[in-house]
Chains A and B, each alone.
Chain A
Amino acid sequence: MIRDITIGQYYPADSPIHRLDPRTKLFGTLVYIVSLFFADNLWCYGAATLFLAAAVRISRVPFRFIVRGLKAVVFLLLISVSFNLFLTDGRVLWQAGFLKITDAGLRLALFMGLRLAYLVIGSSIMTLTTTPNQLADGLEKSLGFLNRARVPVHEISMMMSIALRFIPILVEETDKIMKAQMARGADFESGNVIRRAKSMIPILVPLFVSAFRRATDLAMAMEARCYRGGEGRTKMKPLQYERRDGFAYAVLLAYLAAVIALRLIW
């Protein structure tokens, strides 16, 4: 189950979206998320659906990879949908005990569910089509102005990209430790929440120890390859806006304008 988190899992392909500048994609994701919170009627969600479907299609990432990210938030999704569904006041359509479904609740639940699902899918598309390093580069460059405020932007982005690189490795390790503990009779499934949380300790301790060991090794390997912070560093792939980025920005703004218009009109 922990393997299903898609964030930080790059899907290599050669699509127009893959080739976009990471800054464009970051900004695009941001705009998309804003538009989701702005949307409050079916037309707006229709536009959001179309936009998302087009992006998925153009990205050439297989659909199952995209949905995989959703699995991790299924629980959250169910909770928020059912809360909205059963606990909103309005014209009652159906009632059983204290649970009732109202027209407003139905509407809210639908929108909430879509909003959450689209949010996850939208950001998954970004992480699936952008290598974490590009992503970190994009953040580093977009937030470069913070450098003047003494925020160590380069260091933060390096930390982020390393963290992302080690997610799959640590997930695999967690799996291995869990199996090793299970082979020795550990039980992660039964008991109440507290007991289950307690049973995670024999996983977390070795995981942390090994993470620290890896960190020491990695630091040494980075120093051996002359890493000394962002100063004087060149880039293999310096970020440069191309014509397609201009086009993407135009599409994005048109989409945002459309959502705003749809909201204001209806």
Chain B
Amino acid sequence: MNIIKAVNLVFDYIRRDEDDKVEEVSRALDHLNLEIEEGSFVAVLGHNGSGKSTLAKQINGILLPTEGTVWISEMDTADENLLWEVRKTAGMVFQNPDNQIIGNVVEEDVAFGPENIGVPTPEIWRRVDESLRATGMAMYRKRSPNRLSGGQKQRVAIAGVLAMKPRCIVLDEPTAMLDPNGRREVIRTIRELNRAENITILLITHYMEEAIDADRVIVVDGGKIVMDDVPRQIFSRVEELKRYSLDVPQATELAWELRQGGVDLPDGILRREELVEALLPLLKGRKGCQ
């Protein structure tokens, strides 16, 4: 069964003037179809304004479709009676770490979600313990969130979502405001959750390096899915990506440039180590000639 299924999804942002007349309609999602398998790690790429954040907000019913339907484990997000079930099933982590932490102490923030859905007190404690351990934040549980680094704050936000026992977590550019260390921390935590707890991850990002480890990469442009494949296939289509104003991982870019320059390198190099491995024999061969 697919945990996320969107059929013919359309979403319009409507701007109204003072008399409530429609002033401007901009289509953020345009007849988009998407299915995501339970337990997978999917990265969604797209430049600013491509509709990727709008897509994220559709998944836990923060925004509802203008046309079409989104199902989260067979629950229609537009059904008001199911709204809280949907939000429990699909948790969401946002971009700005400061603006999504409600508690004044780490553990109280993690408890916020379970409190809202009426989990009994002893169970809340168990869930908070578990979530903080899973995100590696257990030692900070009594701290004030204001004294944490950006990466740590995002891990607290992830723990807060995790405490609601979701089956799917949507992360809307969770690393955009973090330094490289924080970014690594957050991505490692997400990957670990996907592997150890089998939680479906939908990672919206514009850092290509973060998409390398995904099971599947989806490229969104103009509110439509324009590419959908495993990372290696996606990143071997460098020219196409550039057309959607996206970068490729550094190593891929270098390999691509080298190939343009006539160096004989294989397709689909993603990591620095792979590039080194592919280059070494070539260099050795040259040394042999001299």
Asked if B164 and A218 sit within 8 Å, CB to CB, the answer is no
Counting chain B CB atoms within 10 Å of each CB, the highest count among A133, A165, A221, A236 belongs to A236
> Quick one: closest B residue to A216, CB to CB?
B99
> Quick one: closest B residue to A132, CB to CB?
B104
Asked if A12 and B62 sit within 8 Å, CB to CB, the answer is no
A 127-139 to B, binary, CB cutoff 8 A, 1 in contact else 0:
0000111000000
> Quick one: closest A residue to B101, CB to CB?
A165
- B residues 112-130 near A (Cβ < 8 Å) are 112-121, 124-125, 128
Asked if A12 and B142 sit within 8 Å, CB to CB, the answer is yes
Asked if B113 and A226 sit within 8 Å, CB to CB, the answer is yes
- B residues 260-277 near A (Cβ < 8 Å) are none
| Cα distance, A133 to B101, chains bound together (Å) | 13
Given A10-B104, A169-B146, residue A221 in contact with residue B84 (CB < 8 A): no
Asked if B105 and A232 sit within 8 Å, CB to CB, the answer is no
Given A226-B113, A235-B115, A235-B121, residue A220 in contact with residue B62 (CB < 8 A): yes
Asked if A133 and B146 sit within 8 Å, CB to CB, the answer is no
Q: Which of B12-20, B88-96, B204-212 forms contacts with chain A? A: B88-96
Which of chain B's residues have a CB closer than 8 A to the CB of A162? 102
**Contact among B118, B121, B142, B164 with A225 in the assembled complex (CB-CB below 8 Å):** B164
Asked if B120 and A218 sit within 8 Å, CB to CB, the answer is no
Least CB distance, B79 to chain A, in whole angstroms: 16
Asked if A161 and B94 sit within 8 Å, CB to CB, the answer is no
Q: Is A217's CB within 8 Å of the partner chain B?
A: yes
- B residues 151-185 near A (Cβ < 8 Å) are 160-161, 164
Least CB distance, A191 to chain B, in whole angstroms: 34
Which of chain A's residues have a CB closer than 8 A to the CB of B102? 162, 165, 218, 221-222, 225
Which of chain B's residues have a CB closer than 8 A to the CB of A208? none
> Quick one: closest B residue to A165, CB to CB?
B104
Asked if A234 and B160 sit within 8 Å, CB to CB, the answer is no
**5 pairs, A vs B, C-beta closer than 8 Å:** A165-B102, A214-B96, A214-B98, A227-B112, A228-B84
